[in-house]
Structure 1
Amino acid sequence: MVTIPRQFNGPPDSGNGGWVSGLVAQARLEQGHTGPVTSRLRMPPPLDTPLAWEHDADETRLMTHGGALVGTSAPGSFTREPPPFLDAKTVQTGYDGYPGFTTHPFDQCFTCGTGRGEGDGLRIFTGPVGDDLTGAPWHVHEAFGEDDGAVGVPVAWAALDCPGGWAADFSVQPMVLGTMTAEVYSAPVVGETYHAIGQLAQRDGRKFFTSTALYTPDGELVGRSEQVWIEIDVATFGR
């Protein structure tokens, strides 16, 4: 049994897409998989609700106790190059221009919400830096470290989540995560600062295809993702 604590929300009453995708991916990794994992969210992930796992050779599933499918994970692969490294000055420019400071559909989001305090949310505020890119520095708060001082898979995936969404600009069209393929090469460490980069690849109707990367200040790629976002009507989402 597992629950998604309310701290890890995206929209007010459902789980943060990256965190939940990472949770489902972690279950797959614990089955012995190595390499990229693709997680798909099938419904708004419920908060503070007991959920159950199902595993087979091809797929891991997160289920409600009523039998509804919350999300799946399976071996994945990347289709694009990761977003490019951006230097400290450029990611600071992105932070300073973060659209979420003025318009944010989910200001309590665990990853990018401006209403979350230090140690409560990740506070990754990626703004535009040109050429369909967003960027911001991310300083890893000690509250998110595990016993070894590194963050776990769900938090790392959450950090690889919203920078891609802001490359498609949540302030113009609210979206939620549908699919995320990610791999963490070196888990982010408490006390360190990373460069979070998002990139918009294309739009197809209500779907937005984006990529995200985390780099050290020296340009080492520590994790990357590719995502599909779905445009929503905030007033009716989850109802």
Structure 2
Amino acid sequence: MSNALRIARRFCGPPNSGNGGYVSGLLARRMAQPCQVTLHAPPPLDTDLQLQPHGDGLQLKLGEQLLASARPYQFQLEMPPAPTLQEAEQAQTQFDGIRHHDLPGCFVCGTNREPGDGLRIFTGCVCGHTDQVAALWQPGADLADEDGKVASEFLWAALDCPGFFAVKPVSGLALLGRYSARIEQPVAPGESLIVSAWAITHQGRKHDAGSALYRSNGELVACAEATWISIAAVTS
């Protein structure tokens, strides 16, 4: 049986399509088990989409067009040491998007988004290392689910764009291709969190990244792995 899914304009990545991490998180919530999401085409905003069972996973479609698919999946991730609060605070002052941002309206990392609208996660290089980035993030009360905790799709979103900035020195402009996140512990709105991401491998147009969310004491609350695909330009 099909289920309708609609991505509000607030949750864009490129101007006319959903942020990849947020969309992946919506599919993961429906899967209700560890999964990996593949993004096949830009999901349009403010449009009724169809979420359909497919084998042991799900497909997100617009009519016959496949937009995204989810399948059961688990990953192991080798993580560098968590940045300290001071390192993350310093790193975000080096955010590359302050000088030039290809997607300034992005829900997660867009510099044109106001506090309380976008997540405004501005990751910069940690201690001069170009392959690891970090920032601070304090999720707002509007991101809470019915249990009063930050909804899982927003944690998936928060782990998304930092991975791009970790691979960007090699990838150039890129879009999310495949993505999987794991939430270890619930997060309360208003918590002070450290966001970290790092490059793992680069193979042609494909670039793998890891990312993680930590409490201020370095305790892991969520992590993700992602594959980014280099592109020439964003057209939608």
Q: TM-score, normalised by structure 1?
A: 0.92
Offset, 1:148: 2.8
Runs of 4+ in 1 over 4 A off after TM superposition: none
Residues 78, 11 of structure 1: CA spacing in aligned structure 2 closer, same or farther, 3 A cutoff? same
Give RMSD over aligned pairs: 1.6
Q: Report the equivalent of 1:218.
A: 217
Output the CA distance in 1 between the equivalents of 2:118 and 2:29. Answer: 20
Aligned to 1:126: 123
Structure-2 change in CA distance of 1:113 and 1:77 (3 Å) = same
1:39 to 37, 41, 44: 37
Match of residue 87 from structure 2: 90
Unaligned 5+ runs, structure 2: none
> 2:6, 2:73 → 1: CA distance?
25
Cross-structure match for 1:147: 146
Counterpart of 1:230, as a letter, is: I
Q: Which amino acid aligns with 2:111?
A: T
Matching residue of 2:6: 3
Answer yes or no: is the 8 Å Cα contact 2:130–2:169 preserved in 1.
no
3-state SS, counterpart of residue 132 of structure 1: strand
Residues 12 and 106, structure 1, Cα contact 8 Å, conserved in 2: yes
* Cα distance in 1 for residues equivalent to 2:170 and 2:114: 21
Query: 1:199 corresponds to which letter in structure 2?
Result: W
> Take 2:99 and 2:228, find their aligned partners in 1: how far apart are those partners?
22
Tell me the distance in 1 between the aligned counterparts of 2:199 and 2:175.
Answer: 15
The sequence identity of aligned pairs, in percent, is 37
- Structure 1 residues 186 and 59: CA distance shift in structure 2, 3 A: same
Cα contact 1:82–1:224 (8 A) shared by 2: no
1:72 to 66, 69, 73: 69
Q: Is the 8 A contact 1:43 1:69 kept in 2?
A: yes
After the TM superposition, which residues 221-232 of structure 1 pair with which residues of structure 2 at under 5 Å, given as runs?
221-232=220-231
C-alpha distance in 2 between matches for 1:187 and 1:160: 15
- Give the partner amino acid of 1:216: R
Which residue is equivalent to 1:138? 137
Instruction: Indicate if the aligned counterparts of 1:119 and 1:144 stay in contact, CA closer than 8 A.
Output: no
Residues 160-200 of structure 1: per-residue CA shift (max 9 Å, x gap)? 10111110127971111010011111232111110000000
Structure 1 counterpart of 2:59: 61
**Distance of 1:201 and 1:25 partners within structure 2:** 23
Partner Cα separation in structure 1 for residue 209 and residue 158 of structure 2: 14
For 2:80 and 2:113, the matched residues in 1 are separated by 26
AA aligned to 1:44 is P
CA distance in 2, matches of 1:5, 1:170: 31
Is the aligned partner of 1:17 residue 2:16?
Answer: no
- Asked whether 1:188 is paired with 2:191, we answer no
Q: What is the one-letter code of the residue matched to 1:133? A: Q
State the one-letter code of the partner of 2:154: V
Are positions 1:103 and 2:100 aligned together?
yes
* Cα shift readout 1:92-113 (whole Å, capped 9, x = no counterpart): 1111111111111101100101
Q: Tell me, which stretches of 5 or more residues in structure 1 are unaligned?
A: none
CA shift in 2, pair 1:205/1:91, >3 Å: same
Aligned-partner Cα distance in 2 for 1:171–1:11: 21
Which residue type is aligned with residue 11 of structure 1? P
* TM superposition score normalised by structure 2: 0.93
Three-state SS of the structure 2 residue aligned to 1:105 is coil
What are the superposed Cα offsets for residues 72-108 of structure 1, whole Å, 9 maximum, x if unpaired? 1111122431343110111011111111111111011
**How many residue pairs align between the two structures?**
231
Query: CA separation of 1:83/1:213 partners in 2, compared to 1, >3 Å: closer, same or farther?
Result: farther
